[in-house]
Amino acid sequence: MLFFNIGHCFEQIGNDEQAWIFYEKSLNIGYQSLPANHSHIATVLSKIGGLYDNKSNWPTGIKYFEKSLENNNNILSKDHPDLIIDFGNLASG
């Protein structure tokens, strides 16, 4: 979570490159220490997708949004608000 929070701070001040570095660190640690379908992994995937989307790299952003949606689809109820966010991210990408 620490790397995720640092990444989020960098994203908030507009430093997407540093945000991406810390989100990737958070994702790698998540894959090593959490179940593959953990909600934190879905959140980080969505944040990375958003960074690619901000850079107009929509194909890569969409891949991350799809991974986040797939992950959340496996762990959340079908009417969970996070699924709506994931669908919205895909629609905007």
User: Which CATH number belongs to the domain containing residue 40 in this structure?
Assistant: 1.25.40.10
Long-range contacts of residues 54-61, Cβ cutoff 8 Å, at least 24 apart: 54/16, 55/16, 58/93, 61/93
Structural domain that includes position 34: 2-92
How many Cβ atoms from other residues are within 10 Å of residue 33's Cβ?
A: 9
Question: In whole numbers, what is the pLDDT of the chain averaged over residues?
Answer: 92
Q: How many structural domains is the chain composed of?
A: 1
DSSP-derived secondary structure letter, 76: S
pLDDT of residue 83: 79
How many Cβ atoms from other residues are within 10 Å of residue 19's Cβ?
A: 24
Give me the torsion for CA of 90, 66, 84, 25, rounded to 10°: -110
Does residue 1 carry a pLDDT above 90?
A: no
pLDDT tens digit sequence for 32-55:
999 988 999 999 999 999 999 999
